[in-house]
């Protein structure tokens, strides 16, 4: 049980009060992505007393994360600890009275129902449109709220998606933006913009979880913290021509737009899960003759210049050192099997 005074300052905020705090304590939230946005979501909601947090992330902690990802320490980068695991451990030290479930997994159409089920709200902390459209499809289909957030360079965007009340992601952006997009790898990112975007998302989450959904601003917020510009536009309602809201056509959830591989960062290819669990200990033994291997129960890393390859227990792999899908497939087939 938490100490009686733990949430007193939050309860003294009139819109929340003791009843709102009780609701927050009984709520369940899924956070997709535990990077710059998600790590802030997680720590803020844990400190606010959200009763159950499910952390979903496919990646591991690297040194370049420490500039803006609040839950991680140098030891996590040295050990290449999965972000969900490192975040879960940190949160239990922050608030031992809540339940934290760490899921080291890539959100896909196949596992979306499992990873996003039985929560009251979904927070977007991911870094790619493919996953966001998948979240959107699932949320609209299930009538579950989610809060979209994105940040790169000094720019940020926040939009709540309340199925049946507001436009969804596909209403506003019918398809992912074409061409090459800026990423944190190529354009950099200010820690202040990721924190600001995440804070706005968490504020909306607390409004929903405390029973004040009517207070959530039905607006799309864009900001540039370097120039100081902040703009808000009215968010429309569900659009009749939207495939998801209007037609109930959920092509992302059905996997119609799911690539078996995807570019992952500046110079890497991700090979998605193969639905066959791998014995990482055995794989480490086999690959030790190929290059330097580091592994734990969560992931195996092989250093084989010019490649650095991370393999996960579900068969997923990230091949750094190439953007050529054929090269990544060839490596996977040669050392793990097609």
**For 102-126, what is the mean pLDDT?**
94
The per-residue pLDDT for 181 is: 60
The per-residue pLDDT for 9 is: 97
**For 6-22, what is the mean pLDDT?**
97
**For 36-60, what is the mean pLDDT?**
96
Please report, in angstroms and rounded to a whole number, the separation of the first and last CA atoms in the chain: 50
Domains of the chain: 8-234 (3.40.50.720), 261-335 (3.30.310.10)
Q: Is the pLDDT of residue 156 over 90?
A: yes
Record the tokens describing residue 311, joined without a space.
């393999």
The per-residue pLDDT for 168 is: 98
If we measure between CA atoms, which residue out of 306, 286, 309, 311 comes closest to residue 296? Answer: 311
Q: How far apart are CA 187 and CA 224, in angstroms?
A: 14
The per-residue pLDDT for 180 is: 44
Which pLDDT tens digit goes with each residue over 160-181? 999 999 999 999 999 887 654 6
Record the tokens describing residue 21, joined without a space.
């705090």
Residue 234 sits at φ, ψ, to 5 deg, of -65, 130
pTM score: 0.83
Which pLDDT tens digit goes with each residue over 85-96? 999 999 999 999
Are the C-beta atoms of residues 119 and 29 closer than 8 Å to each other?
A: yes
Which pLDDT tens digit goes with each residue over 236-292? 999 999 999 999 999 999 987 765 666 666 688 888 755 567 889 988 888 888 889
């Amino acid at each position: 049980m938490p100490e009686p005074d733990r949430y007193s300052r939050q309860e003294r905020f009139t819109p929340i009060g003791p009843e709102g705090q009780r609701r927050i304590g009984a709520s369940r939230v899924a956070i997709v992505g535990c990077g710059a946005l998600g790590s802030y979501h997680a720590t803020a909601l844990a400190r606010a007393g959200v009763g159950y947090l499910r952390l979903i992330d496919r990646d591991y902690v690297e040194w370049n994360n420490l500039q803006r990802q609040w839950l991680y320490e140098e030891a996590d980068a040295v050990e290449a600890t999965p972000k969900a695991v490192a975040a879960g451990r940190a949160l239990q030290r922050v608030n031992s009275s809540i339940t934290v479930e760490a899921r080291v997994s890539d959100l896909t159409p196949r596992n979306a129902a499992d990873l996003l089920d039985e929560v009251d709200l979904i927070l977007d902390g991911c870094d790619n449109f493919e996953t966001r459209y998948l979240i959107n499809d699932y949320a609209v289909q299930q009538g579950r709220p989610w809060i979209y957030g994105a940040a790169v360079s000094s720019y940020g965007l926040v939009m709540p998606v309340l199925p049946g009340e507001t436009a969804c992601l596909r209403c506003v952006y019918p398809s992912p933006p074409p061409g090459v997009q800026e990423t944190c790898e190529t354009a950099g990112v200010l820690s202040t913009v990721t924190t600001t975007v995440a804070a706005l998302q968490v504020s909306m989450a607390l409004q929903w979880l405390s029973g004040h959904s009517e207070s959530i601003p039905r607006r799309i917020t864009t900001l540039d913290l370097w120039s100081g510009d902040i703009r808000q536009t009215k968010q429309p309602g569900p659009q009749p021509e939207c495939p998801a809201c209007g037609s109930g056509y959920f092509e992302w959830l059905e996997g119609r737009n799911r690539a078996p591989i995807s570019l992952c960062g500046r110079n890497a290819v991700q090979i998605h899960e193969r639905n066959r669990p791998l014995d990482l200990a055995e794989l480490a033994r086999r690959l030790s003759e190929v290059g330097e291997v580091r592994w734990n129960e969560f992931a195996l890393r092989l250093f084989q210049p010019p490649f650095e390859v991370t393999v996960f227990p579900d068969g997923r792999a990230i091949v750094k050192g190439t953007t050529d899908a054929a090269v990544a497939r060839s490596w996977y087939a040669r050392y793990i099997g097609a």
